[in-house]
Amino acid sequence: MGTPPKPAEAARKGIFDELENWLTSGYGKKEDLRALDKAIRDQYYGSLVTLRHKWEKIYLQVIEAGQTAIARGCKTTIQTMDHLAESVNRADYGYAPIFDRVEKIQGETLQKMLDYDRGLDNGLLQLSQDVANAESALKASTWPVLNGFVDTINEDLRSIEDDWSKRKQLMRS
């Protein structure tokens, strides 16, 4: 293991970072913001895929129990989760399209986008909690309660999708 940098080395590194950032017109900071935003989106994508796999298990158990009406809602949930997960996975993250270099995405917009992406975590936490509650309802075989959670989860997903679509508008502002 290396030794921690001395205060003089840290200050010198900070000065070089600032100089590099100034010479590249803020490119270094923008790249850091892009990388951080991509990491957050990768985490969200992983969470959605995990929730989708849990929900698929619920769906299969509902089918085995012969609850076809609930199974239809579960299938819709799976399709919506797939669509949302792929939207998150393939979302723009701060680069202008190749043929559209006139509208470069500025650092302020990147910071707004990063803050916005961090705020989407609340929706995913609520979705995760609702899936856990649905699992509990399934174990107890309380079909009306489970049906209510199917509706709630579909509403959660619609809300997250709406928030995610607003992200594109933020990038273009």
Domain residue limits at 112: 26-171
Residue partners of 128: CB distance under 8 A and separation at least 6 = 47, 51
Q: Is the pTM of this model over 0.85?
A: no
Confirm whether 80 is domain-assigned.
yes
CA distance 116 to 40: 11
Residue partners of 59: CB distance under 8 A and separation at least 6 = 71, 74, 75, 77, 78
Confirm whether 18 is domain-assigned.
no
Confirm whether 3 is domain-assigned.
no
Count of beta carbons in the 10 Å neighbourhood of residue 41: 19
Confirm whether 134 is domain-assigned.
yes
Query: What percentage of the chain carries pLDDT values higher than 90?
Result: 45
Share the mean pLDDT of the chain.
Answer: 79
Number of domains in the chain: 1
pLDDT of residue 92: 62
Location of structure tokens 């579909």: 154
Average pLDDT over residues 12-36: 59
Where residue 171 falls among pLDDT bands split at 50, 70, 90? low
pLDDT of residue 90: 83
Report the candidate in 72, 73, 82 with the shortest Cα–Cα distance to residue 48: 82
Confirm whether 6 is domain-assigned.
no
Confirm whether 127 is domain-assigned.
yes
Confirm whether 5 is domain-assigned.
no
- pLDDT at residue 17 above 90? no
CA distance 93 to 28: 15
What are the pLDDT digits (tens) for 36-49? 778 888 888 999 99
CA distance 133 to 57: 14
Burial label for 55, CB within 10 Å (0-12, 13-18, 19+), is: buried
pLDDT of residue 121: 84
**Of 142 and 39, which is predicted with more confidence?**
142
pLDDT of residue 136: 96
Confirm whether 131 is domain-assigned.
yes
